[in-house]
């Protein structure tokens, strides 16, 4: 049913998903197409899959990942409309373009083809992604097959399409801000005398472990924060400084700014 899988685009996000997919299926059944052919060739060599042209992916693959930026989607799909239309067999398109609705993807592709819309993040490349999805005209069997193919990427969660833009601004954009936080923690460690590599390792492992504790304990982050803050201790002084500098308000503003930009991109 979803025997062959194609990627139209092999950038950071397309590459991350391709790495995960190749753990679930035979890489020889995965086909990569990219505007810069060398990028597709390098990834295909790394993963043991094959390269193809856009038209070959559009004409032959059962599940087709549309892994280009939202503003490039129309230019990608326009030349493939006829190929899609002429296909005798059923296929599913999977878009990961922020802000573009399923209806808009179908309009660009030329028909109400089955579409799954996902909001992945780059940690999918190491099997720890957070991926929200919604779909249209997709059967229960196809959804099941899709979830099986995507399982090595991390956690998947079905959401109504009305929430997917908000979700993307927490877990899709969020890694960038977490990397800023990890870098800042490491900088602080270096300022206190730690070697750079050690400071970075400690900061990254700390974030990983803290996130795992939230997920596995089910406790409110505030409760977990309180457990680290001893009366009259050093941690609460750091908490006070972060509150003075408006950490929480700044993070909320970052999510809202990304959300507004995503909505704007969807109107284009």
Q: Which residues are annotated as a binding site?
A: 8-13, 54, 67-70
d(CA 154, CA 125): 9
Binding site members for NADPH: 54
d(CA 104, CA 202): 44
The number of angstroms, rounded, from the C-alpha of 111 to the middle of its chain's C-alpha atoms is 26
The number of angstroms, rounded, from the C-alpha of 261 to the middle of its chain's C-alpha atoms is 17
Name residue, tokens 């995503």: 262
Q: State the alpha helices, DSSP H only, in 159-233.
A: 161-167, 174-191, 196-217, 221-228
Instruction: Please give the full DSSP string across 219-256, using - where no structure is assigned.
Output: --HHHHHHHH--TT-HHHHHHHHHHHTTHHHHHHHHHH
Q: Kind and range of the H or E element at 33?
A: strand 30-33
| Strand 129-136 to 115-119 pairing | antiparallel
Binding site members for NADP(+): 8-13, 67-70
C-alpha angle with apex 86: 82 to 89, nearest 5 degrees? Answer: 135
d(CA 9, CA 152): 20
d(CA 260, CA 27): 38
For 258, counting Cβ atoms within 10 Å of its Cβ (0-12 exposed, 13-18 middle, 19+ buried), the class is buried
């Amino acid at each position: 049913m979803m025997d062959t899988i194609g990627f139209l685009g092999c950038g950071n996000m397309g590459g991350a998903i391709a790495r995960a997919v190749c753990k679930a299926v035979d890489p020889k059944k995965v086909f990569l197409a990219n505007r810069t052919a060398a990028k597709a060739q390098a990834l295909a060599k790394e993963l043991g899959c094959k390269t193809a042209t856009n038209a070959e992916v559009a004409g032959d693959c059962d599940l087709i990942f549309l892994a280009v930026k939202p503003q490039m989607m129309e230019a990608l799909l326009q030349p493939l409309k006829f190929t899609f239309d002429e296909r005798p067999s059923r296929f599913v398109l999977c878009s990961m373009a922020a802000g573009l609705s399923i209806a808009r993807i179908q309009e660009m592709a030329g028909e109400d083809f089955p579409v799954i819309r996902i909001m992945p993040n780059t940690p999918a490349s190491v099997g720890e992604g957070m991926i929200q999805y919604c779909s249209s005209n997709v059967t229960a069997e196809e959804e099941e097959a899709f979830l099986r193919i995507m399982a090595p990427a991390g956690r998947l969660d079905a959401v109504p399409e009305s929430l997917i833009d908000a979700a993307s601004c927490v877990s899709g954009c969020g890694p960038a801000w977490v990397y800023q936080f990890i870098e800042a923690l490491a900088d602080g460690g270096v300022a206190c005398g730690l070697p750079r590599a050690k400071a970075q390792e400690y900061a990254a492992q700390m974030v990983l472990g803290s996130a795992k504790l939230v997920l596995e304990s089910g406790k409110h982050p505030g409760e977990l924060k309180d457990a680290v803050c001893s009366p009259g201790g050093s941690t609460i002084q750091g908490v006070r400084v972060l509150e003075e500098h408006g950490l929480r308000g700044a993070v909320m503003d970052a999510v809202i700014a990304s959300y507004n930009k995503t909505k704007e991109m969807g109107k284009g």
